[in-house]
């Protein structure tokens, strides 16, 4: 039935359709080559990870049954939290139901009205959406432009109680990274509070898969480390790690995102624990993945495709117009290859792209096949 609300909603949706920006959720089936998953080490189907989830169900049941402050936080959750804490090497941590909820909780509850937030312009939506919260004062610096960040720090250094700087270590749509060593130096000079989202770097970088802060030697300077369980850790949920007990106690007392939501199922915690063991045992596979990515980026550039240099498993192939990426995505799907077609508003206007996520089950032949289909599309 049409009413004022549905008419207004439909009008906005029609505009999206006209601009090739309409989104819909479709079952992922008939895929033989998945280049659109964040399961970088291919652990979702690892027999030991599956078995750990089954054992957890047999012992603790399928769901957690309650929020963490009631009875939802069980022995497996505690074991997972302790293992993650040991892995990342911070004194205090919390589990959240998702990275989105963790990021919302941090931005909603930690900065106060006398604080300033400085974020990269391309920060993930789970962080960006919370910036609009009342009383939040924020500025964005140009993507990975630490000169710009420094000028904002210099300009604002005396006016605020706390300056928060929020970055990712590996940007989810660009597959690139800021200079973390320089960020740590800026922190030493300006004394800001650094929140680092390592969602996509976890498992791929670091001597034991702890991420890019560890790999670049700056982890001790990170005030809040965010990791997710739904990507390389093959399950679902997220964690934050910090050396400030005040932060975790405060969120436990005030963050509705944590307090008022049924907690991660024990089956999921069991899977994440088993995946954590596998991450540490898969360092050579992670190295190989980075080499594959680097080589394929070179191949893309040499064949005239626009991409961004680096060695992360996230590879953008930038095409500009949304209809181009949709057409290629469709053709790829016809031959069983899944690739994300990323369009505005997820990325800026004129920067629509295919976003490839490589994983350890992909090889150079698979990528040649992808490129053949792309080249045959006649869109470029
Ligand atoms: C950088 C970053 N942070 C946080 C999230 C949210 O994590 P989750 O999928 O666990 O909600 C994502 C999701 O893709 C992400 O890319």
Mean pLDDT of 303-316: 96
Per-residue pLDDT, 158 = 87
Q: Which two tokens stand for residue 333?
A: 């799907």
Domains of the chain, each with CATH number or no CATH: 22-41+283-376 (3.90.1150.10), 47-280 (3.40.640.10)
Per-residue pLDDT, 132 = 83
pLDDT tens for each residue of 139-163: 999 999 999 999 999 999 888 999 9
Q: Which residues touch 297 (CB under 8 Å, ≥6 apart)? A: 307, 308, 309, 310, 311, 315
Q: Strands (DSSP E) along 148-212, which ranges? A: 163-168, 193-197
Per-residue pLDDT, 320 = 83
pLDDT tens for each residue of 16-61: 999 999 999 988 888 999 999 999 999 999 999 999 999 999 999 9
Q: Coil, strand or helix: which one is 193?
A: strand
Q: Please give the number of the atom of ligand 1 that sits closest to the Cα of 237.
A: 10
Catalytic residue among 53, 97, 126, 172: 172
- 139 is annotated as an active-site residue: no
**Atom 8, ligand 1: which residue's CA is nearest?**
99
Distance separating the N- and C-terminal Cα atoms of the chain: 43
Q: Please give the number of the atom of ligand 1 that sits closest to the Cα of 103.
A: 4
Neighbours of 268 (CB within 10 A): 26
- 197 is annotated as an active-site residue: yes
d(CA 220, CA 233): 23
**Atom 7, ligand 1: which residue's CA is nearest?**
99
Per-residue pLDDT, 1 = 81
How much distance in Å is there from the Cα of 89 to the middle of ligand 1? 22
Q: Which pTM does this prediction carry?
A: 0.96
Q: What does the mean pLDDT of the chain come to?
A: 96
């Amino acid at each position: 039935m049409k009413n004022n609300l549905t008419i207004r909603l439909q009008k906005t949706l029609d505009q999206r359709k006209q601009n090739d920006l309409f989104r819909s959720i479709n079952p992922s089936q008939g895929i033989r080559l998945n280049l659109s998953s964040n399961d970088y080490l291919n652990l979702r189907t690892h027999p030991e990870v599956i078995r750990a989830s089954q054992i957890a169900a047999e012992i603790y049941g399928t769901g957690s049954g309650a929020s963490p402050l009631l009875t939802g936080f069980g022995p497996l959750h505690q074991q997972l939290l302790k293992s993650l804490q040991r892995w990342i090497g911070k004194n205090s941590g919390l589990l959240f139901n998702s990275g989105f909820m963790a990021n919302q909780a941090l931005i909603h509850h930690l900065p106060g009205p006398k604080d300033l937030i400085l974020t990269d312009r391309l920060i993930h939506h789970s962080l960006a959406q919370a910036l609009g919260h009342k009383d939040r004062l924020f500025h964005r610096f140009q993507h990975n432009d630490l000169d710009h960040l420094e000028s904002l720090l210099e300009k604002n250094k005396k006016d605020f109680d706390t300056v928060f700087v929020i970055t990712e270590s590996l940007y989810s749509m660009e597959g690139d990274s800021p200079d973390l060593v320089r960020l740590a130096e800026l922190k030493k000079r300006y004394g800001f509070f650094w929140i680092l989202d390592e969602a996509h770097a976890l498992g791929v970088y670091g001597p034991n898969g702890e991420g890019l802060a560890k790999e670049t030697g700056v982890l001790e300077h990170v005030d809040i480390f965010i990791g997710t369980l739904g990507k390389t850790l093959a399950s679902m949920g997220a964690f934050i790690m910090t050396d400030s007990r005040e932060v975790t106690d405060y969120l436990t007392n005030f963050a509705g995102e944590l307090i008022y939501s049924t907690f991660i199922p024990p089956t999921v915690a069991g899977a994440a624990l088993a995946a954590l063991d596998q991450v540490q045992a898969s360092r050579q596979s992670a190295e190989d993945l980075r080499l594959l990515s680097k080589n394929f980026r070179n191949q893309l550039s040499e064949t005239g495709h626009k991409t961004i240099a680096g060695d992360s498993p996230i590879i953008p192939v930038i095409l500009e117009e949304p209809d181009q990426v949709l057409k290629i995505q469709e053709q790829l799907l016809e031959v069983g290859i899944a690739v994300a077609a990323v369009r505005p508003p997820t990325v800026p206007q004129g920067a629509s792209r295919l976003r490839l996520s490589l994983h350890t089950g992909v090889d150079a032949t698979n990528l040649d096949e992808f490129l053949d289909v792309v080249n045959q599309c006649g869109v470029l």
